[in-house]
A and B are shown apart, each in its own frame.
Chain A
Amino acid sequence: MNLFFVVLIPFLGAGLAAWVSRFGRLQSAWMAGGVTLVALIALTPSLPAPFLGETLVQRIPWIPALGLDLVLRLDGLGLLFALMVLGMGLLVILYARYYLAERDCMGRFYGYLLLFMGSMLGIVLSENLILLLMFWELTSLSSFLLISYWQHREDARTGARMALAVTGLGGLAMLGGFVLLGEMVGSYDLSVVLANGELIRSDPLYTPMLVLILLGAFTKSAQFPFHFWLPHAMAAPTPVSAYLHSATLVKAGVFLLARLFPVLSGTSQWSILVIGAGLATLLIGAYFALFKHDIKGLLAYSTISHLGLITLLFGIGTPLAAVAGVFHIINHATFKASLFMAAGIIDHECGTRDMRRINGLWRYMPYTGTLAMVAAAAMAGVPLFNGFLSKEMFFGETVTFSANHTWDWLLPAAVVVAGIFAVAYSLRFIHDVFFNGDPIDLPKTPHEPPRWMKVPVEILVAICLLVGILPAFTVAPLLYVAATGVLQTAPPDYDLAIWHGVNAALIMSVIALIGGILIYAGRRPLFNLATKLEGLLDARAVFDGLLKGLLALAGAVTRILDTGSLQRMLLVFILSALTLGTVGFLGGGAPLTGDRDLLPADAVSLLVTIALIIVALWTVVLHRRRLTALIVMGALGLLVSLIFVKFSAPDLALTQLSVEVVTIVLLLLALYFLPQYSPAESSWPRRVRDIGVACLAGGGAAALTWSVLTRPYESIADYFLENSVPGGGGANVVNVILVDFRGFDTLGEISVLALAGLGIYAMLKDLRLPGPTCDARGRPWNWDMHPVIMAALTRLLLPLALLVSAFIFLRGHNLPGGGFIAGLITAIALIMQYLANGVEWTHVRMTSNLHPVIGAGLLIGLLTGLASLVFGYPFLTSAFTHVHWPVIGDFELASAIAFDLGVYLVVVGATLLILVHLGLMHHASHPGEQEPNHA
Chain B
Amino acid sequence: MLEEPSSMEALIAVIIGVLTACGVYLALRARTFPVVIGLTLLSYAVNLFLFVTGRLTVGQPAVISDQAVGYTDPLPQALVLTAIVISFGMTAFIIMLALKARAELGTDQVDGRLDGGDAPNERGREHG
Contact indicator B53/A601 (Cβ below 8 Å): no
Q: A574-B24, A702-B1 are in contact. Are A640 and B44 (CB under 8 A)?
A: yes
Contact indicator B100/A655 (Cβ below 8 Å): no
Per-residue 0/1 for B8-50: is the Cβ within 8 Å of any A Cβ (1 yes, 0 no)?
A: 1111111111111110111111111111110011001101110
Name A592-639 residues within 8 Å CB distance of B: 592-593, 596, 598-601, 605-606, 609, 612-613, 616-617, 619-620, 623-624, 626, 629-630, 633, 636-637
Contact indicator B95/A566 (Cβ below 8 Å): no
Q: How far is the CB of A835 from chain B (nearest CB, A)?
A: 17
Interface size on A, residues (CB 8 A): 118
Name the A residues within 8 Å of B67 (CB-CB): none
Name A652-696 residues within 8 Å CB distance of B: 652, 655-656, 659, 662-663, 666-667, 670-671, 673-675, 678-679, 681-683, 686, 690-691, 693-695
Contact indicator A613/B18 (Cβ below 8 Å): yes
Q: How far is the CB of A534 from chain B (nearest CB, A)?
A: 41
Name the B residues within 8 Å of A566 (CB-CB): 35, 110-111, 119
Q: How far is the CB of B90 from chain A (nearest CB, A)?
A: 7
Name the B residues within 8 Å of A911 (CB-CB): 88
Contact indicator B41/A648 (Cβ below 8 Å): no
Q: Which of A663, A702, A757 contacts B14 (CB 8 A)?
A: A702
A640 to B24, CA, bound (A): 18
Contact indicator A686/B64 (Cβ below 8 Å): no
Specify the main secondary structure of chain B where it touches its partner: helix
Q: How far is the CB of B44 from chain A (nearest CB, A)?
A: 5
Contact indicator A695/B52 (Cβ below 8 Å): no
Name the A residues within 8 Å of B6 (CB-CB): 600-601, 606
Contact indicator B93/A760 (Cβ below 8 Å): yes
Per-residue 0/1 for B70-105: is the Cβ within 8 Å of any A Cβ (1 yes, 0 no)?
A: 011111011011101111111111011111101100
A841 sits at the interface (CB 8 A): no
Contact indicator A599/B58 (Cβ below 8 Å): yes
Q: How far is the CB of B89 from chain A (nearest CB, A)?
A: 4
Query: What band does the interface of chain B fall in when counting residues whose beta carbon is under 8 Å from A?
Result: 35 or more
Contact indicator B118/A731 (Cβ below 8 Å): no
Q: A647-B56, A670-B99 are in contact. Are A694 and B24 (CB under 8 A)?
A: yes
Q: Which of A599, A717, A760, A907 contacts B8 (CB 8 A)?
A: A599
Contact indicator B56/A734 (Cβ below 8 Å): no
A537 sits at the interface (CB 8 A): no
Q: How far is the CB of A672 from chain B (nearest CB, A)?
A: 10
Contact indicator A699/B17 (Cβ below 8 Å): yes
Contact indicator A644/B51 (Cβ below 8 Å): yes
Name the A residues within 8 Å of B26 (CB-CB): 619-620, 623
Q: A616-B19, A616-B41 are in contact. Are A709 and B52 (CB under 8 A)?
A: yes
B59 sits at the interface (CB 8 A): yes
Contact indicator A756/B81 (Cβ below 8 Å): no
Per-residue 0/1 for B101-122: is the Cβ within 8 Å of any A Cβ (1 yes, 0 no)?
A: 0110000101100001111000
Contact indicator A701/B16 (Cβ below 8 Å): yes
Q: How far is the CB of B75 from chain A (nearest CB, A)?
A: 6
A571 sits at the interface (CB 8 A): yes
A119 to B73, CA, bound (A): 51
A646 sits at the interface (CB 8 A): yes
A34 sits at the interface (CB 8 A): no
A713 to B52, CA, bound (A): 12
Contact indicator B77/A734 (Cβ below 8 Å): yes
Q: A567-B118, A623-B29, A640-B44 are in contact. Are A651 and B77 (CB under 8 A)?
A: yes
Of A600, A679, A694, which is in contact with the most chain B CB atoms at under 10 Å from its CB?
A694
A742 to B80, CA, bound (A): 13
Name the A residues within 8 Å of B78 (CB-CB): 734, 737-738, 742
Contact indicator B40/A694 (Cβ below 8 Å): no
A763 to B128, CA, bound (A): 30
Name A765-780 residues within 8 Å CB distance of B: 767-769
Per-residue 0/1 for A694-714: is the Cβ within 8 Å of any B Cβ (1 yes, 0 no)?
A: 110111111111101110010
Q: A619-B41, A655-B85, A693-B24 are in contact. Are A705 and B17 (CB under 8 A)?
A: yes
Contact indicator A702/B13 (Cβ below 8 Å): yes
Contact indicator B45/A623 (Cβ below 8 Å): no
Q: Which of A599, A626, A691, A732 contacts B33 (CB 8 A)?
A: A626
Name the A residues within 8 Å of B88 (CB-CB): 659, 662-663, 666, 911
Closest to B75 in A: A717
A721 sits at the interface (CB 8 A): yes
Contact indicator A709/B111 (Cβ below 8 Å): no
Name the A residues within 8 Å of B16 (CB-CB): 701-702, 705
Contact indicator B33/A649 (Cβ below 8 Å): no
Q: Which of B11, B71, B95 contacts A605 (CB 8 A)?
A: B11
Q: A666-B95, A678-B29 are in contact. Are A643 and B48 (CB under 8 A)?
A: yes
A503 to B122, CA, bound (A): 78
Name the A residues within 8 Å of B86 (CB-CB): 749, 752-753
Q: Which of B3, B58, B61, B97 contacts A763 (CB 8 A)?
A: B97
Contact indicator A617/B22 (Cβ below 8 Å): yes
Contact indicator B51/A717 (Cβ below 8 Å): no
Q: A623-B37, A648-B60, A769-B102 are in contact. Are A698 and B20 (CB under 8 A)?
A: yes
Q: How far is the CB of B57 from chain A (nearest CB, A)?
A: 5
Q: A616-B18, A643-B48, A648-B59 are in contact. Are A697 and B1 (CB under 8 A)?
A: no
Q: Which of A564, A662, A675 contacts B111 (CB 8 A)?
A: A564
A745 to B20, CA, bound (A): 27
Q: A724-B64, A815-B63 are in contact. Are A767 and B99 (CB under 8 A)?
A: yes
Q: A605-B8, A681-B116 are in contact. Are A709 and B55 (CB under 8 A)?
A: yes
Q: Which of B47, B58, B91 contacts A666 (CB 8 A)?
A: B91
A361 sits at the interface (CB 8 A): no
A744 sits at the interface (CB 8 A): no
A624 to B13, CA, bound (A): 27
Contact indicator B125/A563 (Cβ below 8 Å): yes
Q: A715-B75, A760-B92 are in contact. Are A679 and B28 (CB under 8 A)?
A: no
Contact indicator B29/A682 (Cβ below 8 Å): yes
With A678-B34, A753-B85 already in contact, 14 other A-B pairs whose C-beta atoms are closer than 8 Å: A566-B119, A599-B8, A616-B18, A616-B19, A616-B22, A640-B44, A648-B58, A650-B61, A652-B77, A679-B31, A693-B28, A709-B12, A732-B62, A749-B82
A-B contact pairs, 29 of them (CB 8 A): A566-B119, A596-B55, A599-B56, A605-B11, A616-B18, A617-B18, A619-B22, A626-B33, A636-B44, A647-B58, A651-B81, A666-B95, A667-B95, A674-B99, A694-B20, A698-B24, A699-B21, A701-B17, A704-B49, A709-B9, A709-B13, A721-B74, A725-B64, A732-B62, A749-B86, A753-B86, A756-B89, A820-B81, A820-B82
